[in-house]
Amino acid sequence: MMLIPSLYINLIDFFSINASEVGLIFGIVSFCFGVGSLPMSFLYNKFGPKKLIVFSQLGILLSAFLVSLSQNVTMFSFSSILLGLFASIHHPVSLTLISEIFDKNIAKANAFHGVFGSIGVSLGPLISYFSLLHFSWHYAFIFTAILNAFLLPLSFKFIPNTEKIDIISLNDFRDKKLNSILTIFFLISFVVGLSFTVFNTFIPSVFNLDFGSNANSVVSAIMLTGFLGQILSGYLGDKFDRVKLLSTVFLLLLPLFISITFAGKKLIVIVSVLLAIFMYSIQPLINSIIKDITPLKIRSVVFGLNFFLMFGLSGLAAYLGGIIADNYSFKLIFPIFSLLFPLGVLLLYMLNMKRKVKI
């Protein structure tokens, strides 16, 4: 997720393209990163988590090496799309596995999963920084491929085989109340996804303006603080109303996004740390809400659709943000997209009301 954003300005220079073109490439990659989760969410019931996760990691290994060999923008785009498709398998499969295994303390389980996700996100800029410092941007993808080579045997050994679940049919989606709840929830997913895409894609470029070549090392440290938000929401999510907690997070993110515009070198570090904490506190809450509102049989599909909206369709924000950066600045992207958070609060209120309605 973080390699292309961390290399944004370097890719502009290497391929002699502008910010909106890199944004378009990353937008398409993000779309594939989401859309690939849809068929895999249906295949979960048939093949189980072990086969799908191993297949995902093997694909990441091969496609990351292809990206590292790219010398022109066409090959880079094609191989990055493949990387996005293979990487997209992971989330709906792993999150369905967690929801199947853990009954109580589901928010804590999702938080534990999310902490390591935050570590991975923080490693992206660090790997990019190390690669640019000692080699070239190509090596960021080589190191990612090597990492997956280590993960493959571990996944094969430790990912459990679960009991087979009945294949999903259209009859499983005929509950009118559930469908209306899911419609509102998916709109919330899209709002969250747009804000995540803006944060992950453009924070490295914002820091590049103030910190130059050291930007990715600073961003890596900031992204790592996201695990604090994961732990906090995991703890609070099992004690309090998860929908109300998520509304509170949205309200806190609103002024932080706006403040990016005028934050100086010192203030932007503080604001970005708070952003990382609150942005990554969202994931355990969203994933736990899915368990609250769905039966197990369709849960993998809901996880898949949620992920598609959060990291696939929301790739639109990368392209729109690139246009804003070309015409104005990277910092102006954040206050424009801050308008998403009041909308998110309204949708969460509607979700709560819909859940209380008896049909």
Task: Report d(CA 70, CA 64) in Å as an integer.
Answer: 10
* CB distance 224 to 2 below 8 Å: no
Q: What is the pLDDT of residue 252?
A: 92
Residue 156's Cα: distance from chain center in Å? 24
C-alpha atoms less than 13 angstroms from C-alpha of 139 in its C-beta half-sphere: 11
* CB distance 261 to 332 below 8 Å: yes
Structure tokens at 106: 């589901």
Q: What is the pLDDT of residue 359?
A: 45
C-alpha atoms less than 13 angstroms from C-alpha of 197 in its C-beta half-sphere: 34
Structure tokens at 12: 């502009």
**Secondary structure (DSSP) of 61-94:** HHHHHHHHT--SHHHHHHHHHHHHHHHTTHHHHH
Q: Summarize pLDDT for 174-223 with one digit per residue, the tens.
A: 667 777 888 888 899 888 888 888 887 787 777 777 776 667 677 778 87
Burial 11-47 (b: 16+ CB within 10 A, else e): bbebbeeebbbbbbbbbbbbbbbbbbbbebbebbbee
Q: Considering the chain, what percentage of its residues have pLDDT values greater than 90?
A: 8
Structure tokens at 198: 């803006």
Residue 325's Cα: distance from chain center in Å? 22
C-alpha atoms less than 13 angstroms from C-alpha of 215 in its C-beta half-sphere: 21
Q: Summarize pLDDT for 110-136 with one digit per residue, the tens.
A: 777 777 877 777 788 788 878 878 888
Domains in the chain, start-ordered, CATH in brackets? Answer: 3-166+174-356 (1.20.1250.20)
Burial class of residue 60 in the structure, from the number of CB atoms within 10 Å of its CB (0-12 exposed, 13-18 middle, 19+ buried): buried
Q: What is the pLDDT of residue 253?
A: 92
pTM of model > 0.85: no
Residue 59's Cα: distance from chain center in Å? 19
* CB distance 345 to 247 below 8 Å: yes
Q: Which residues of the chain have pLDDT under 50?
A: 359
